[in-house]
Amino acid sequence: MPDRRSVLFVTDLAYQAQGRRYCDEDIFLTSRLRDGFDTALCHPLDAAALLDAFDLIVVRNSGPVLHYQRQYDAFRAQAVACGARVYNPLSGRGDMAGKQYLLDLTTARYPVIPTIDRPEDLHLLPEADQYAVKPKAGADSIGLAFVPREHLDGLAYGDVLVQPCIDFRYEVSFYYVDDTFQYALYAPDPERRWILETYEPTGADLAFARSFIGWNTLDHGIQRVDACRTREGELLLVELEDLNPYLSLDSLPNQARDSFVASMKASLHRFMDAQPRVG
């Protein structure tokens, strides 16, 4: 029997997320990972102390790191220093690195909700009834506020992003393991973000999502591309989640859920084979 590799699965089972039960998803995932890995769970605040004891650290539904930013930064530094394998890899350019990517993608003219962080760039935003103001380090809508255009000049710029409020038909998410599309889910009712149904993407939809997966350049890992469909039919990026994206596995039929688990297991093995431990 081949040696079984060990996985430390980092999750906050007690985290309360609006409209989602993180704990159920991670209990399910770890129950399936045990088929191929020796698996243990830990809270994100305990992960740094356990880095050396496992072949792989899998960061899943660990909650917004802004609640424990100092400890998370120390975890990252220690993982890099000791050569630990962390999945997703810590080189992500999306939410893993903050919200700078929204500014970068706006500048590069990607199909993203226009985003600025300086008063001198206000002219780049389209006219809208309301504008969303969010912290650069925000997550889960923490610190989000909505203001009219006449209040934008008086904002305390520096640590906030400003975007126009988009009148959209629905939100849709595309889920990837490594660079391979797995499934898509959408919220038909904009007022009920987490009441999700399966979505059959078109070729154009997949080309849209794949452009952001390619931009992020992560060779391994789980990513979620969140978008909104405007009234005119255009898709615009809302978020590129590459740190600990919630997967909404409970919204999938059994066959799709099983397929995702198989893809994740294969990805974990590929990642460990490609990344020999240092030290």
Q: Residue 72 pairs with which residues in a beta bridge?
A: none
Model confidence at 1: pLDDT above 60: no
pLDDT one-digit tens code per residue, 163-218 = 999 999 999 999 999 999 999 999 999 888 889 999 999 999 999 999 999 999 99
CA separation for the pair 235, 172 (Å, rounded): 9
Phi-psi label, residue 142: left if phi above 0, alpha if psi -120 to 50, beta otherwise: beta
pLDDT one-digit tens code per residue, 205-251 = 999 999 999 999 999 999 999 999 999 999 999 999 999 999 999 99
Residue ranges and CATH numbers for the domains of the chain are 5-87 (3.40.50), 114-164 (3.30.1490), 167-241 (3.30.470.20)
pLDDT one-digit tens code per residue, 65-77 = 878 889 999 999 9
CA separation for the pair 183, 252 (Å, rounded): 9
With CA atoms as reference, report the closest residue to 216 among 245, 188, 190: 245
